[in-house]
Amino acid sequence: MAITSDDQRLTSADVTTTTAMTAEQRAKFEQDGYLIIRGALTPTEVDYYTTAIDRVYAEQQASGAIAPGKSMHVLSAVANCHDAVGLIDHPVTFPLVWSMLGWNVHIYHSHLDVHPPIKEKVPFRFEWHQDGGRQNRELEGQPRERLSVKLAYWLSDVSETGRGNFKVIPGSHKTNWIDGPPRRDIEWPEPEGSVEVCASPGDAVFFDRRLWHTRTNNYSDITRKGMFFAYCPRWIAIRDEIAGIDEPEWVESLSPVRQQLLGHVGKGIPGELEGDHSWGHYPKTTPLYGWLDERDMLVYDNPPLRK
Ligand SMILES: O=C(O)CCC(=O)C(=O)O
């Protein structure tokens, strides 16, 4: 059966019920800095998004942007793959985002990753990091503020270690600094307590940007594939290329919440209002605020979700 992005199973546009993150999930997220959401995507969705990422990989190879058999790390996921749009407000995972950050959010950074098996050992490189770049140098605080969260969707089988798994130090989001080598290419032991996250196709990982994490090398026989979306408040700039910047009809075909997440809300409002609206000054005209309000999901005791 042909599947299109209008397929009911691939869109949350028509989902009328939604559930906030549970107290148990919140406690675990606060403790570990990440959650694994098993079976977030159906097998049909896994097939659909795998076809989409394979197409991008083939295009990258055809254009010479990546050599045959080499890895792909394409930024601005939806700008480069419109078919990925169904993941940005996926009904299973997106509630975790707004439960933590509230209604005034957008996607600031996203990527499509394909990592084929590596046949020969590559030189050591210390890749442990927190997300947010200069936020980790220019912000005060111990720990620094959370500011953003990220969703990783696994399209290949990383249910065993050694397959290029995502690796984390549970609980490290409360730590501004971990020990590392004086230079990234100097061999260094793996951080104490670090674990490779094992996930099956369709599982998602939701993590705090401050969680110390790294990708590992894929020495298995399985090509690793994943799509990543990072969310932050709208008063932090979008680092991605804006999806659909020259395609107004495509943008208008998206739900208002998707338009907000991709950075389109507030455009076209004349005068000063445009700037203020773009960073979330007006809740009542910010789609996710209205969407949550209609479903009675705004609360009084959580500032980012306050009515
Ligand atoms: O690809 C991975 O496993 C890690 C991804 C990562 O470092 C990131 O999303 O910041």
* pLDDT one-digit tens code per residue, 48-89: 999 999 999 999 999 999 999 999 999 999 999 999 999 999
Distance between CA atoms of residues 285 and 94, nearest Å: 20
Structural domain range at position 154: 8-252
Distance 130 CA to ligand 1 centre (A): 10
Please give all residues whose beta carbon lies within 6 A of any atom in ligand 1, as ranges: 113, 131, 150, 166, 213, 215, 228
Distance 114 CA to ligand 1 centre (A): 12
Report the atom number in ligand 1 closest to the C-alpha of 111.
9
* Residue 21: predicted pLDDT: 94
289-303 pLDDT, tens digit each: 999 999 999 987 888
Task: For residue 260, tell me if it sits in a domain.
Answer: no
232-266 pLDDT, tens digit each: 999 999 999 999 999 999 999 999 999 999 999 86
Whose CA is closest to atom 4 on ligand 1?
215
Task: For residue 271, tell me if it sits in a domain.
Answer: no
> Between 276 and 78, where is the model more confident?
78
Whose CA is closest to atom 1 on ligand 1?
215
Tell me the pLDDT band of 2, cut-offs 50, 70 and 90.
very low
* Residue 267: predicted pLDDT: 60
Q: Is 80 exceeded by the pLDDT of residue 201?
A: yes
* Residue 272: predicted pLDDT: 53
CB 99 within 8 A of CB 29: no
85-132 pLDDT, tens digit each: 999 999 999 999 999 999 999 999 999 999 999 999 999 999 999 999
Distance between CA atoms of residues 26 and 197, nearest Å: 19
Report the atom number in ligand 1 closest to the C-alpha of 216.
3
CB 193 within 8 A of CB 170: yes
CB 107 within 8 A of CB 230: yes
CATH of residue 99: 2.60.120.620
* Residue 292: predicted pLDDT: 95
Task: For residue 177, tell me if it sits in a domain.
Answer: yes
Distance between CA atoms of residues 92 and 41, nearest Å: 8
Burial of 270 (C-beta count, 10 Å sphere; 0-12/13-18/19+): exposed
Distance 301 CA to ligand 1 centre (A): 33
Task: For residue 289, tell me if it sits in a domain.
Answer: no
Distance between CA atoms of residues 167 and 229, nearest Å: 17
Task: For residue 21, tell me if it sits in a domain.
Answer: yes
* pTM given for the model: 0.93
Give the tokens for residue 77.
């996921």
Mutation probe of ligand 1 site: the residue of 214, 224, 240 with most atoms within 8 A of C-beta: 214
Burial of 261 (C-beta count, 10 Å sphere; 0-12/13-18/19+): buried
Domain count, the chain: 1
